[in-house]
Amino acid sequence: MNYDVILIRYGELALKGKNRDQFEEALVKSVRNVLRSFFKVKVRRNYGRMYVELHGEDAYAVMERLKRVFGISSFSPTIQVDPDIETIKEKALELVRQMDPQPRTFRVVSRRADKRYPIQSMEVNRMVATHILRALPAISVDLHEPDMIVNVEIRTEGTYISCETIQGLGGLPVGVSGKVLLLLSGGIDSPVAGWMMLKRGVTLEAIHFHSYPFTSERALQKVRDLAHKLTKWGGTVRLHVVPFTEIQTAIREKCPEDYLITIMRRFMMRISERVAENTNAKALATGESLGQVASQTLESMDTINKVISIPILRPLVAMDKVDIVDISRQIDTYELSILPYEDCCTVFTPKNPVTRPKPRLAVKFEEALDVEALVEDAVARTEIEEITTKPKETTTDLF
């Protein structure tokens, strides 16, 4: 049997009024974005439900793409039928019959959103279940833990039957939470941090500090490729590429070795804050995790935070590395992240970085530098690239 629509359910959160509208609009947009270039389908919404009308497209191919849309709690391949009870019984049976493997137990759950419908939902449940039991002697009813639930929704806009429910990604639709600027390195953590922020509904831009020729063109390309991976969930990601060589060189010449990383991070934050202001991002995000490396202690975070006032979000702060790696595999960034192209931090890693830096000392050491001029110059020379969802070849082939 061919399915007619995919029924999409989304968090029945405490969303009311304007918020709900905004949430639904953003979700419709995300769903359209992932399907548009591949299928001729129609997306519409109606009172807390969303439908993808398939018009002959393959339900499973469409659902594969819905699995990457944040804000969807679950979805079901569904047939749309005439509302008369005989048709509902017949079609429900047909649907159960084609399930592979065949369920051993089932229950019918019907919802009568259209209160004008003459039969009450309990009665619909009973009639449909009886019809299925008569036709399929091997199957029985289990109200508590059925192998399969046959869903019948009787709504004003149509009557829908489905018996398969697939988990969505959860989270919030991209775009409802405002914009965040992600500090994206070539490592494992920051792409995961970006993905987690996308999950909470932000629009993502990324900033990368590049130290050519200490770091190679390939290292920058790797960052583009990582940003490209994130477009799978977030749509276009604008990447701000900051030339960082002059600043790193100045720090290395003028500041004590054990404070190199701390001071370098403070510059990254200052520059990121300026770029965030220019692009209207409300917060920065990093891939830091407490205690993971020397520069990720509370003292270090404090010393780094001190130079800016924009919030820094650290979605991985309480996560173990193994769990971060797990996510990076799931989102397919791991293999890229472990490619051995040096990033600017590995090139400048001092032997004994301070683990508990003092803000007072960082300020003192920075007196040897013209901080404002260095920051302004780097911001002025920052280049913006649009990383789009287009297949990667189109970006990579340019280099």
Residues forming the site for ligand ATP (CB under 6 A): 183-185, 187-190, 207-209, 286-288, 292-293, 295-296, 343-345
Residues near 368 by Cβ (< 8 Å), separated by ≥ 6? 254, 255
**Among Mg ion, ligand ATP, none, what does residue 292 contact (CB within 5–8 Å per kind)?**
ligand ATP
3 burial via Cβ count (<10 Å: 0-12, 13-18, 19+): buried
- Is 209 annotated to bind a ligand? Reply is yes
Tokens of 357: 């830096």
Q: Least distance to ligand ATP from the beta carbon of 358, Å?
A: 19
- Is 316 annotated to bind a ligand? Reply is no
Q: Interface with Mg ion by CB under 5 A: which range of 16-24, 124-132, 185-193, 367-375?
A: 185-193
- Is 208 annotated to bind a ligand? Reply is yes
- Is 184 annotated to bind a ligand? Reply is yes
DSSP state of 200: B
- Between residues 71 and 287, which has the closer beta carbon with respect to ligand ATP? 287
| Contact between residue 16 and residue 31 where contact means Cβ atoms under 8 Å apart | no
Q: Least distance to ligand ATP from the beta carbon of 235, Å?
A: 21
| Contact between residue 240 and residue 383 where contact means Cβ atoms under 8 Å apart | yes
Three-class HEC string of 281-307? CCEEECCCCCCCCHHHCHHHHHHHHCC
Q: Interface with Mg ion by CB under 5 A: which range of 29-37, 89-97, 182-190, 333-341?
A: 182-190
Q: Least distance to Mg ion from the beta carbon of 195, Å?
A: 16
Task: Provide the 10 A C-beta neighbour count for residue 174.
Answer: 25
Burial 131-151 (b: 16+ CB within 10 A, else e): bbeeeeeebeeeeeebebebb
- Between residues 186 and 201, which has the closer beta carbon with respect to ligand ATP? 186
48 closest CA partner among 5, 10, 7, 4 = 10
- Between residues 325 and 363, which has the closer beta carbon with respect to Mg ion? 325
- Is 175 annotated to bind a ligand? Reply is no
Q: CA torsion sign, 43 to 49 to 55 to 59?
A: positive
Kindly state whether residue 187 participates in binding Mg ion, applying the rule CB under 5 A.
yes
Kindly state whether residue 231 participates in binding Mg ion, applying the rule CB under 5 A.
no
- Between residues 189 and 205, which has the closer beta carbon with respect to ligand ATP? 189
**Among Mg ion, ligand ATP, none, what does residue 274 contact (CB within 5–8 Å per kind)?**
none
- Is 356 annotated to bind a ligand? Reply is no
Kindly state whether residue 185 participates in binding Mg ion, applying the rule CB under 5 A.
yes
Distance of alpha carbon 62 from alpha carbon 56, whole angstroms = 11
- Between residues 80 and 289, which has the closer beta carbon with respect to Mg ion? 289
Distance of alpha carbon 203 from alpha carbon 70, whole angstroms = 12
**Among Mg ion, ligand ATP, none, what does residue 307 contact (CB within 5–8 Å per kind)?**
none
Task: Provide the 10 A C-beta neighbour count for residue 383.
Answer: 10
Distance of alpha carbon 36 from alpha carbon 386, whole angstroms = 20
Q: Least distance to ligand ATP from the beta carbon of 308, Å?
A: 14
**Among ligand ATP, Mg ion, none, what does residue 382 contact (CB within 5–8 Å per kind)?**
none
The DSSP secondary structure of 27-68, one letter per residue, reads: HHHHHHHHHTTT---EEEEETTEEEEE-TT--HHHHHHHHTT
Kindly state whether residue 194 participates in binding Mg ion, applying the rule CB under 5 A.
no
3-state secondary structure of 159: strand
Kindly state whether residue 353 participates in binding Mg ion, applying the rule CB under 5 A.
no
**Nearest-CB residue for Mg ion:** 187
**Among Mg ion, ligand ATP, none, what does residue 327 contact (CB within 5–8 Å per kind)?**
none
**Among Mg ion, ligand ATP, none, what does residue 188 contact (CB within 5–8 Å per kind)?**
ligand ATP
Q: How many CA atoms lie within 13 A of 328 on its CB side?
A: 24
- Is 235 annotated to bind a ligand? Reply is no
Distance of alpha carbon 302 from alpha carbon 356, whole angstroms = 10
- Between residues 127 and 242, which has the closer beta carbon with respect to Mg ion? 242
Q: Interface with Mg ion by CB under 5 A: which range of 89-97, 187-195, 233-241, 325-333?
A: 187-195
Specify binding-site residues. Answer: 183-184, 208-209, 265, 287, 296
Specify binding-site residues for ATP. Answer: 183-184, 208-209, 265, 287, 296
Residues of the shown chain interacting with Mg ion in the complex, contacts defined by CB under 5 A: 185, 187
